[in-house]
Chain A
Amino acid sequence: MRYLPLSSDDRAKMLKKIGVQDINELFDDVPRHALLKGFLDLPLHMTEMEVEQNFSAFAAKNIAAGSVPFFVGAGAYHHHVPSTVDYQIQRGEFLTAYTPYQPEISQGTLQTLYEFQTQVAQITGMDVANASMYDGSTACGEAALMARRVTKKKKVILSGNLHPQYIEVVKSATKYTDDNIIVNDPMVETTEDLINQIDDDTSCVIVQYPDFFGNIQDYSALAEALHNRKKLLVVVTTEIVALGAIKSPGEIGADIVVGEGQSIGNGLCYGGPYAGLFATRQKYVRQLPGRLCGETTDAEGKRGYVLTLSTREQHIRREKATSNICTNAGLCTLAFTIHMTLLGEKGYRQLAKINHAGAVKLRDKLATINGITVLNSTFFNEFTVRLNKDAAEVVEALVEHDVIAGLPISRLYPKNKELKNDLLIAVTETTSEDDMDILVEELKEVLK
């Protein structure tokens, strides 16, 4: 067994030192009948080559995003990741390190977390960010809980244009905490509607920016209305590249910003692992969930970094902790930071511009097709079109022609008949003009 260094001779010597005859004597505390007599009913060990064959077979039954014209977004985006990122995150010193509990021998991880926190604070326009959450959706649930801690109020108002799975996650995260979650219907609400829903019991309003259907709305008036009544605005961004082109949530008046960081540095990987971004204003820092990295000095006065404010956390506070979380998305945040450093201000903005330009181009092409109505007047790299047919059926028909045309909204809203013909289409820097033209031709054909 290639991963197990002990030889039978080693084992015998060690058992002797311990003073037992047989390995099973070390399992004496296990109830006798529960100790397995033989092996589990599973295959025996495999060679490296056999394992590879198994996984190649799994992979062959999927269509990779990069292998066909591909237009699905909706909270996870097919971007190009520079090779340097993947090389660096596979360095053993990063890959095989644990949480930096011993800061003197973890400065690599800690300094990159400090850089990450700074980058996230900058792009969201906030004062501080934590060292990441599991992903955008769970960060969103944590934001609802944090807003309650800050305001001591229990009513959370969710925009209907928030990613529907994020809505489900918030509802579950607060299911047993007495919070009152108000969910609006998709695609119909206005900012005024949200403002009118604010009452004394409200802790926060959660909106998405750009929203799930791709629209870019200015929430400044909502922020003002909330702040006048000492409530919080939570802004969710699932396509973090967008903030290279549009005003930061901080400029709009957000108090907590939650984001999905996958687009920068991390592959699609069927939904995880990703990196949840979480940022807020300085005055709320002690209510933050999750890990924080802070600057300090060592015994000789040299600058260094440590995990800090851990008195908020479960290992100290136990049932009174701000959250039960005891991990972050370490390696995914490292990938984010390295990719963002490669981009820099210039590259990040250019990447955003290319994404937006591509989406505008595809929108223009699609707008000319009979049977398609573009629903967005504003968007970044994703927009919704209404077809003259059931969108899910259209997408399936195009799969037959090796085109993955987008997300039929009905997959996430199966009961909402109004949205049955709606298709959410995303464009990134990986989408070529050929890809767009193939989509256009295929849609023309199927919508005839």
Chain B
Amino acid sequence: MMNNQGRPTNTSSVKNVSNIYETFTGSQGLSQAEGLIYEIGDTERTGVDFKEVNDFKSALGGMERTNEIGLAGLTEPEVMRHYTRLSRKNFAIDLGLYPLGSCTMKHNPRLNEKMARLSGLGDIHPLQPISTTQGALDLIDTLAHWLKTMTGMPAVAMSPKAGAHGELCGLMTIRAALEAKGDARSIVLAPESAHGTNPATASLCGYRVKPIPATEDGRVDLEAMKEALGPDVAAIMVTNPNTCGLFEREIIEIADAVHAVGGYFYCDGANFNAIVGKVRPGDLGVDAMHINLHKTFSTPHGGGGPGAGPVVLSEALAPFAPMPYVIAGEENFELIEHDPTGKSFGRMTAFHGQMGMFIRALSYMMSHGADGLAKVAEDSVLNANYVLASLKDIMSASFEGPCMHEALFDDRFLKDTGISTLDFAKAMIDEGYHPMTMYFPLVVHGAMLIEPTESESKQSVDQFIGMMRHLVEKAKAGEIERFTGAPHFAPLKRLDETGAARNPVLRWRANEGEE
């Protein structure tokens, strides 16, 4: 069973590894078995002490909830143990190199966490009087200044809550600007190598997506793109550096071509880490670009969010941006929550955006400064090229270097071994690593996209390279079981994703627990 990225989703390749013997608890030493809160707690237990409430006359209008909800509670020591045990079943940046391409798994400084929790920042309400949140508006304005300076763009919409939300914001801004000229258009161009969010976003904006093929060397095919251009094209969405880890050499020509037909250039800024402090997208003809604060600026990924995706905008697009925005006045900062011009397309979210992420990102930026940010880009590109140079003789690099901050390999080197990209990735787990991004981008077969980030020391990258070379040698030597049975040493063996999708069990239920 394969999904449409060629990624196997069932466990048929995994042979049962016979246990030596089973433990009574299901734990194996420090790898402890842990049930669900519903199995270890009950509706009577609680880990919070409250005062009693004196009798009072309810104002609920007869809508009292009388049936049992079924929530399981635990006392505080039990909660501490339950979640600590669960935490130990996760891989994390704090535990090792996490080379997920396009995800930029860099070190998350704890200073940022401390700043986000300062009294006066972590505990202010989005709708308390604006006169009582001048520091918050100052902070947002300061971050906006950093973002605009780093990108060389004149405006920024701060409120989008994630990268894809930023894309939506950018494309809606573009559509609003085109509609203001009475020319909404109908097509958005996106390269085949684009993140899935690009076409999904364009479609939410009412646009039809026309894919642009890649050239042999992994870039946008400029000629094909020019042929696809016309008066109906609203925008092109290009990730730069792109999802193959390469800088689009003809970026200026791409921008000029789309501008020549009256369209806009949307840049997906997912890979900004490679160029921060080195290149300003504003100098490349970009009209709009979102910035993933959770990638380039180290706000923690937190097991899948929250993110933040402010969008920098050109002068022409700025008037159409969503509410709210901050203005630095003579004496005070103002928060504009209602569009005074009637041009804004609306609002992305209640309130003002991901303040908690703004704090962390600005803390990261200030820590690095202009000098450190350029070093971030350089070291991330250096680490990736070092990986590429050290593995290309033994693995199959998809494109000639140099790459930017991530190195792309495909599965040609596994040909005739009986081992897939997925198997190889799972064997990396046994070696104590999180696998790289697999089966993305779709433009090469069995993709392996490796992004070490600048947070890794040479020692760490050398060890990773050594491990990869070791696995490649074992694969080529025919040690199939090492791969197809992997992971052997994780808390669980390979999981049955096909079965999970065929019969979705999305919550615990009392009767199932008792069966």
Question: Among the listed stretches A97-105, A185-193, A225-233, A434-442, which one makes contact with chain B, having 4 or more residues with CB under 8 Å of it?
Answer: A97-105
Residue of B48, B127, B385 contacting most chain A CB atoms (<10 Å): B127
A23 CA / B126 CA spacing, docked (Å): 44
A300 CA / B22 CA spacing, docked (Å): 12
Question: Is the beta-carbon distance between B500 and A306 smaller than 8 angstroms?
Answer: yes
Question: Is the beta-carbon distance between B133 and A62 smaller than 8 angstroms?
Answer: yes
Other-chain residue from A10, A98, A356 in contact with B100 (beta carbon distance below 8 A): A98
Indicate whether A245 reaches chain B with its CB closer than 8 angstroms.
yes
Indicate whether A103 sits within 8 Å of B457 (C-beta atoms), given known contacts A4-B375, A95-B92, A331-B305: no
Question: Is the beta-carbon distance between A123 and B306 smaller than 8 angstroms?
Answer: no
Question: Is the beta-carbon distance between B132 and A117 smaller than 8 angstroms?
Answer: no
Question: Is the beta-carbon distance between A314 and B164 smaller than 8 angstroms?
Answer: yes
A338 CA / B86 CA spacing, docked (Å): 12
For residues 315 through 356 of chain A, which have their beta carbon under 8 Å from a beta carbon of chain B? 315-321, 323-332, 334, 338, 340-351, 353-354, 356
How near does chain A come to B58, taking the closest CB pair, in angstroms?
7
Question: Is the beta-carbon distance between B495 and A320 smaller than 8 angstroms?
Answer: no
A217 CA / B491 CA spacing, docked (Å): 48
A-B contact count (CB 8 A): 725
Q: B314-327 interface mask toward A, CB cutoff 8 Å, 1 = contact, 0 = none?
A: 00000000110000
How near does chain A come to B120, taking the closest CB pair, in angstroms?
3
Indicate whether A197 reaches chain B with its CB closer than 8 angstroms.
no
Contact residues in B for A344 (Cβ distance below 8 Å) = 41-47, 71-74
Question: Is the beta-carbon distance between A316 and B206 smaller than 8 angstroms?
Answer: no
Q: A8-41 interface mask toward B, CB cutoff 8 Å, 1 = contact, 0 = none?
A: 0011011101111001011111110111100111
Indicate whether A371 reaches chain B with its CB closer than 8 angstroms.
no
Question: Is the beta-carbon distance between B279 and A107 smaller than 8 angstroms?
Answer: no
Residue of A102, A323, A340 contacting most chain B CB atoms (<10 Å): A102
For residues 80 through 133 of chain A, which have their beta carbon under 8 Å from a beta carbon of chain B? 82, 84, 86-109, 111-115, 117-119, 121-123, 127-129, 131-132
A76 CA / B80 CA spacing, docked (Å): 27
Known: A251-B67, A343-B46. 8 other contacts (CB 8 A): A14-B386, A34-B279, A39-B374, A63-B132, A72-B127, A248-B69, A272-B354, A319-B199
Contact residues in B for A30 (Cβ distance below 8 Å) = 247, 275, 278-279
Question: Is the beta-carbon distance between B350 and A137 smaller than 8 angstroms?
Answer: yes
How near does chain A come to B209, taking the closest CB pair, in angstroms?
5
A423 CA / B77 CA spacing, docked (Å): 42
Question: Is the beta-carbon distance between B162 and A269 smaller than 8 angstroms?
Answer: no
Other-chain residue from B47, B118, B352, B501 in contact with A308 (beta carbon distance below 8 A): B501
Q: B101-128 interface mask toward A, CB cutoff 8 Å, 1 = contact, 0 = none?
A: 0010101111101111111111111111
A-B contact pairs, 22 of them (CB 8 A): A3-B455, A6-B383, A23-B381, A52-B115, A64-B119, A93-B95, A104-B494, A107-B86, A107-B492, A134-B161, A176-B172, A267-B356, A272-B354, A294-B504, A299-B15, A305-B495, A308-B500, A314-B200, A338-B83, A341-B79, A342-B46, A407-B127
Contact residues in A for B494 (Cβ distance below 8 Å) = 104, 298-299
Indicate whether A316 sits within 8 Å of B505 (C-beta atoms), given known contacts A177-B204, A344-B46: no
How near does chain A come to B146, taking the closest CB pair, in angstroms?
6
Indicate whether B222 reaches chain A with its CB closer than 8 angstroms.
no
Indicate whether A429 reaches chain B with its CB closer than 8 angstroms.
yes
Contact residues in A for B323 (Cβ distance below 8 Å) = 168
Question: Is the beta-carbon distance between A175 and B346 smaller than 8 angstroms?
Answer: yes
A67 CA / B84 CA spacing, docked (Å): 32
Contact residues in B for A377 (Cβ distance below 8 Å) = 59, 61
Question: Is the beta-carbon distance between B63 and A218 smaller than 8 angstroms?
Answer: yes
Contact residues in B for A350 (Cβ distance below 8 Å) = 46, 50, 53
A6 CA / B372 CA spacing, docked (Å): 12
Indicate whether A296 sits within 8 Å of B64 (C-beta atoms), given known contacts A66-B123, A317-B200, A346-B46: no
A29 CA / B381 CA spacing, docked (Å): 13
Other-chain residue from A13, A97, A300, A321 in contact with B16 (beta carbon distance below 8 A): A300
For residues 434 through 473 of chain B, which have their beta carbon under 8 Å from a beta carbon of chain A? 434-435, 440, 454-458, 460
A100 CA / B492 CA spacing, docked (Å): 14
Contact residues in B for A52 (Cβ distance below 8 Å) = 111, 114-115
How near does chain B come to A328, taking the closest CB pair, in angstroms?
5
Question: Among the listed stretches A53-61, A149-157, A199-207, which one makes contact with chain B, having 4 or more residues with CB under 8 Å of it?
Answer: A53-61
Other-chain residue from B103, B347, B368, B385 in contact with A18 (beta carbon distance below 8 A): B385
How near does chain B come to A389, taking the closest CB pair, in angstroms?
16
Indicate whether A270 sits within 8 Å of B16 (C-beta atoms), given known contacts A105-B90, A319-B202, A377-B61: no
Other-chain residue from B302, B322, B402 in contact with A95 (beta carbon distance below 8 A): B302
A345 CA / B41 CA spacing, docked (Å): 10
Q: B373-387 interface mask toward A, CB cutoff 8 Å, 1 = contact, 0 = none?
A: 111101101110110
Question: Is the beta-carbon distance between A118 and B38 smaller than 8 angstroms?
Answer: yes
Indicate whether A48 sits within 8 Å of B111 (C-beta atoms), given known contacts A26-B381, A297-B499, A299-B494: yes
Other-chain residue from B4, B128, B457 in contact with A316 (beta carbon distance below 8 A): B4
Other-chain residue from B120, B460, B500 in contact with A60 (beta carbon distance below 8 A): B120
B283 to A, closest residue via Cβ? A34
A324 CA / B69 CA spacing, docked (Å): 33
A355 to B, closest residue via Cβ? B53
Contact residues in B for A163 (Cβ distance below 8 Å) = 350
A114 CA / B303 CA spacing, docked (Å): 13
Indicate whether A309 reaches chain B with its CB closer than 8 angstroms.
yes
B248 to A, closest residue via Cβ? A29
Question: Is the beta-carbon distance between A271 and B352 smaller than 8 angstroms?
Answer: yes
Contact residues in A for B90 (Cβ distance below 8 Å) = 93-94, 97, 100, 105-109
Indicate whether B487 reaches chain A with its CB closer than 8 angstroms.
yes
A324 CA / B348 CA spacing, docked (Å): 14
How near does chain B come to A309, taking the closest CB pair, in angstroms?
6
Other-chain residue from B42, B136, B149 in contact with A58 (beta carbon distance below 8 A): B136
Other-chain residue from A106, A332, A347 in contact with B305 (beta carbon distance below 8 A): A332
Question: Among the listed stretches B225-233, B261-269, B359-367, B413-421, which one makes contact with chain A, having 4 or more residues with CB under 8 Å of it?
Answer: B359-367
For residues 166 through 197 of chain B, which have their beta carbon under 8 Å from a beta carbon of chain A? 167-168, 172, 175, 195-197
Contact residues in A for B247 (Cβ distance below 8 Å) = 27, 29-30
Contact residues in B for A14 (Cβ distance below 8 Å) = 382-383, 385-386, 458
Question: Is the beta-carbon distance between A169 and B304 smaller than 8 angstroms?
Answer: no
Indicate whether A375 reaches chain B with its CB closer than 8 angstroms.
no
